[in-house]
Amino acid sequence: MAGSRPCHVCAVPRRISRSLTWNPEGTITETRDPEHRMILADVEGINQLFGNIENLIGISIQNMLTESKARATREFTRKLLRGWKRQVVRRAGLGLVIKRMGGLARSFGYGDLEVLHVDWRNNRIEWRLRDPYSVPLMCGDLRGATEAVKDVVGTVEAEPEGENTYIVRGRLSPPPSGMEERLTAPAARVKRGDITYRRCPDCGVPLRVSGFAWDPDCGIIRDGRTGARYAFIGPASIQAVFDELASELGESIPEAVVEAQRMRVASLDFEPWRGFALEKFRDLLGVMGFGNLVSLESSPDRFTARIENAALPLVIAGTAAGALEAFTGRRATTEWTVTPDGDLELQVTA
């Protein structure tokens, strides 16, 4: 497929350079929909984070993740369809739409996707997923995309088929709960930034992105150095789940999210990060779409940082605490504030 062809200079797929924009504010946005942010997230990390949150709070968040993701993907797909000429969609049929969506999903690192069975008369559809980046989030993607294409409301259910393979069955029915309307992503206000990336002279993507390797057939993106799997994920749908949990279960939720991420990160190896300069951290955070690191002060057992346009601030706070713990071998305490204008102020002490 044309979209999976790589740039001849940096080897990043053309579909990525066409779909996503890396901005000087430390954000990644959909080129077609600049209000829709994306982050390049570590797949194992995000799944461990969800698992740790469930263990800490004692309830499953799988359905909430699917609901929230369905909503985000439905909106995204509606905009995508508006961008394509309606006549083209009508003439080429829904098969093409599904094919294109599948291609985009593979470029974003979501795994491989096969349509097994379509019965529009009875409003049923069945997919096979191979190596999905997240089962609940991918179920949300499939549901949201189908709802946008067919202009209906549906449910999806995943069933394991084999190792890393799932069958997902989609059916139309009334919305499953009143939760959906509350899972609204907060409006993003973005502060201007001045990060200048070294960019590919041909496709314009920051050159650091070419450190990732794409397998366009399997839908897998890996860090070329560590082999860790990554995917482009919309942070708003995940933040909406954190907000929903906090409104239902109370003020202990933000602490639990930070703790869940600290647990995950404290076990990782941060040795290569030693001696990293501010500019390098700033670059890294921005390339991943997590925001603009405008200040960082550090001593051997403590650091304070300010990040503008922070995506998933609780995850950043947990990452910082876990990283300092991995450095010093001592449990870190974290204080964080998200200012009304969206800055994350962070102080971590070992």
- Give me the residues that bind Zn ion (CB under 5 A), please: 7, 9-10, 200, 202-203
Contacts of 256 (CB under 8 A, 6+ apart): 53, 56, 57
- 176 versus 211: smaller Cβ distance to Zn ion: 211
Compute the least distance from the CB of residue 8 to Zn ion, in Å: 8
- 5 versus 82: smaller Cβ distance to Zn ion: 5
Compute the least distance from the CB of residue 28 to Zn ion, in Å: 16
What angle in degrees, to the nearest 10, is found between the helix axes of 135-150 and 94-107? 150
Query: Bridge partners of 39?
Result: 233
Contacts of 116 (CB under 8 A, 6+ apart): 126, 127, 128, 167
- 8 versus 331: smaller Cβ distance to Zn ion: 8
- 38 versus 315: smaller Cβ distance to Zn ion: 38
CB-hemisphere CA count at 13 Å for 99? 10
DSSP H helices in 173-332: 179-182, 235-249, 252-266, 278-287, 313-328
Compute the least distance from the CB of residue 83 to Zn ion, in Å: 23
- 202 versus 297: smaller Cβ distance to Zn ion: 202
Q: CA angle, 227 as apex, 226 and 231 as ends, to 5°? A: 110
Contacts of 127 (CB under 8 A, 6+ apart): 113, 114, 115, 116, 142, 167, 168, 170
Q: CA angle, 292 as apex, 288 and 293 as ends, to 5°? A: 105
Structure-derived torsion over alpha carbons of residues 97, 178, 46, 149, reported in degrees to the nearest 10: 0
- 212 versus 303: smaller Cβ distance to Zn ion: 212
Compute the least distance from the CB of residue 200 to Zn ion, in Å: 3
Compute the least distance from the CB of residue 117 to Zn ion, in Å: 38
Compute the least distance from the CB of residue 289 to Zn ion, in Å: 18
Compute the least distance from the CB of residue 216 to Zn ion, in Å: 15
- 137 versus 200: smaller Cβ distance to Zn ion: 200
Residue 241, classed as helix, strand or coil, is helix
